[in-house]
Amino acid sequence: MRHIISFSGGIASAITAIAAHERGADFELVFADTLIEDQDLYRFMIEVWAKLGYPRFHWLADGRNPWQVFEDIGMVGNSRIAPCSRILKTEMIKAHFAEHAAPDDVLVLGMDWSEMDRIERAQHNWQPRQVISLLNEWKVTRPTWPGILARYGITEPRLYPAGFPHNNCGGFCVRAGQTQFATLLERFPEVYAYHEAWQDAVMARNPKLKPFLRRKVDGVTT
């Protein structure tokens, strides 16, 4: 039985990989690239991968970014529905499993007890494939994570100290809401401008789609 770790580029999945390495588990890494990731995510992932002795690493990509997905399906994601995550991440990893995984291979999520709702949802959606959290099974708790990274000489991704709760999609996530977009505009205005440009281009070609990135200039929302 292999443990195939969904390696998102966040701290939790990195700690999962380190824990599997330290316990001598048979594991591989799989990453689904949305093509809008922060450049420091790639630094972090490759650094972790190298520190673990370069285990087998499957780097997947649909070839589209979320904006291209929104345009293709005629729908923009929102705080309740994220078709970009389903198409660019979940479906890519499921296709990888269908082609390469043995029946008893296990999908390992980089999540802990604080995300039990997501773990249970994944367990339901992936049936009959077994889905587990090694962080929960091995009781690798959050207070220990900074020390584990420090022991390996790995610096956390820059989005966390910049005020983001995750390291996904370069700080841009349709499910995270307006507070996150405000943080993105404040901390990384060039990234916000990149997404504004994509939004403008997609909306120009698809006027029925509704924009959600806005700015206030002199009290006026634009």
By the 8 A CB rule, do 110 and 16 touch?
yes
Say if 215 falls within a structural domain.
no
Per-residue confidence at 213, pLDDT binned at 50, 70, 90?
confident
Q: How far apart are the first and last CA of the chain?
A: 54
* Closest listed residue to residue 108, CA positions, set 219, 13, 11, 206: 13
Domain presence at residue 122: yes
Residue 46's CATH number? 3.40.50.620
The verdict on residue 89 lying in a domain is yes
Q: Answer yes or no: pTM beyond 0.85.
A: yes
Q: Is 171 contained in some domain?
A: no
Q: What's the CA gap between 169 and 70, in Å, rounded? A: 15
Strand partners, 27: 3
> How many Å separate Cα 138 from the centre of its chain?
22
183, part of any domain:
no
Angle (CA) 172 38 135, round 5°: 85
Predicted local confidence at residue 219, as pLDDT: 43
List the one residue out of 206, 146, 104, 123 whose CA is nearest residue 14: 146
Phi, psi dihedrals of residue 28, rounded to the nearest 5°: -135, 165
pLDDT band at 215 (very low <50, low <70, confident <90, very high): low
The tens digit of pLDDT for each residue in 24-56 reads 999 999 999 999 999 999 999 999 999 999 999
Domain count, the chain: 1
Range of the domain at 76: 3-158
Which of 123, 129, 116, 135 is CA-nearest to residue 25? 135
Structural domain contains residue 54 = yes
Task: Please report which helix (H) or strand (E) contains residue 201, including its range.
Answer: helix 189-205
Type of residue found at 140: V
| Domain annotation covers residue 213 | no
Residue 214 placed within a domain: no
At 197, is the secondary structure helix, strand, or coil? helix
Query: Which tens digits make up the pLDDT trace of 137-186?
Result: 999 999 999 999 999 999 999 999 999 999 999 999 998 888 899 999 99
